[in-house]
Amino acid sequence: MAELILGIESSCDETGLAWYERGVGLRGEVLFSQTAIHAPYGGVVPELAARDHVRRLPLLFRELQHQTGIQRGDAVAVTTGPGLIAALLVGVQFAKSLALAWGVPWVPVHHLEGHLLAPLLSGELPLPSVALLVSGGHSQLLAMEAIGHYRIIGDTLDDAAGEAFDKVAKIMGLSYPGGPALAALAEQGDPQRFTLPRPMLDRPGLDFSFSGLKTACRLQWERIQDGGSPQDQADLAAAFEWALVETLVEKARRALKETGYQNLVVAGGVSANRRLRTHLGQVLGQTAAIHYPKLAHCTDNAAMIALAASFHLDAGQSPLAPFAARARWSLEEYAP
């Protein structure tokens, strides 16, 4: 029988399910974003996120069954970390119930591995590769030596790239979610008008730090806020985006040089940023092959979870084995 995997994602504020068939590919997926729920609070409220996952998962599962005509699978894959612990537990318990009912194995999946492998949903992923993983919660450079074997070679010391986007957007009074709103505003601005730091580029190493850049933006915003124009806002947004993008690209260049690898994987929600993709192509396109997920799979989704599980299905656990969820979980500790 074909090995059909149900993927479940509930690590933050997206609820997703997907069918993935080994040797065939993605058979169908559904996704619900909680943006409207969290918008009044200006950020994700963990308890509200978990409660909505409880409501949405059964509804989305029935929708996926109806959409695909597939009623049950040969395995259940679920994000078990890292993420919001209450949100993770909802997905884990839903997965456990299905695995028990169907009598099939379950596969715990590291959320970040899902992002790293997401380009395989629509293309290839040559290994070894350097991975630039940039999202709301993570900014990392990794040496991807093989599937399941990841070595962190650069990490963030404070704010992640996506987190910095969101915080600067909030400082400037932009609507939630702030990152996409700031990127859209930056399209209309002059990135050269304001001078902002490129953090950690004046020293060796591959680590990131974006809190100083965020503070520099806040100080500039306080200077122009009284009597400032919409163009002032757009120019500062463009300057921030350009400073962050130049930093990410330079660190990726150094990582490729340090490892000697010729492939770069760019994953996570910030990988959808147009300026980042353009600048990576300009700086590194002649010396490295750059691989992205398609835009629909840059942010959290269940398709990437089911795909990641397809490589570890043989190590799937009994439905009676204990389920664990981890709010913090390094990829270097991951043992699928």
pLDDT attached to residue 336: 63
Q: Which residues contact 309 (CB under 8 A, 6 or more apart)?
A: 5, 7, 20, 75, 77, 107, 109, 316
pLDDT band at residue 1, thresholds of 50, 70 and 90? very low
User: Each residue of 38-69: pLDDT tens digit?
Assistant: 999 999 999 999 999 999 999 999 999 999 99
Question: What does pTM read for this prediction?
Answer: 0.95
- CATH 3.30.420.40, applies to 123-292: yes
pLDDT band at residue 33, thresholds of 50, 70 and 90? very high
Are the CB atoms for 316 and 75 separated by under 8 Å? yes
pLDDT band at residue 335, thresholds of 50, 70 and 90? low
Hey, what are 121's tokens?
């949903």
Task: DSSP for 204-266, please give it.
Answer: SSS-B--HHHHHHHHHHHHHHSTT--HHHHHHHHHHHHHHHHHHHHHHHHHHHHHH---EEEE
Q: Which residues contact 70 (CB under 8 A, 6 or more apart)?
A: 4, 19, 27, 28, 64
User: Each residue of 190-239: pLDDT tens digit?
Assistant: 999 999 999 999 999 999 999 999 999 999 999 887 767 889 999 999 99
Order of strands, sheet of 25-33, starting from the edge strand that comes earlier in the sequence: 25-33, 14-21, 4-9, 75-81, 106-110
Are the CB atoms for 325 and 92 separated by under 8 Å? yes
Q: Of 3.30.420.40, 3.40.605.10, 3.40.50.300, 3.40.50.720, which CATH number belongs to 4-117+297-333?
A: 3.30.420.40
Q: 84-98, 211-225, 245-259, 276-290: lowest mean pLDDT where?
A: 211-225
Asked whether the domain spanning 123-292 has the same topology as the one spanning 4-117+297-333, the reply is: yes
What angle, rounded to 10 degrees, do the helices at 161-171 and 211-224 form?
A: 20
Domain-wise residue ranges, the chain: 4-117+297-333, 123-292
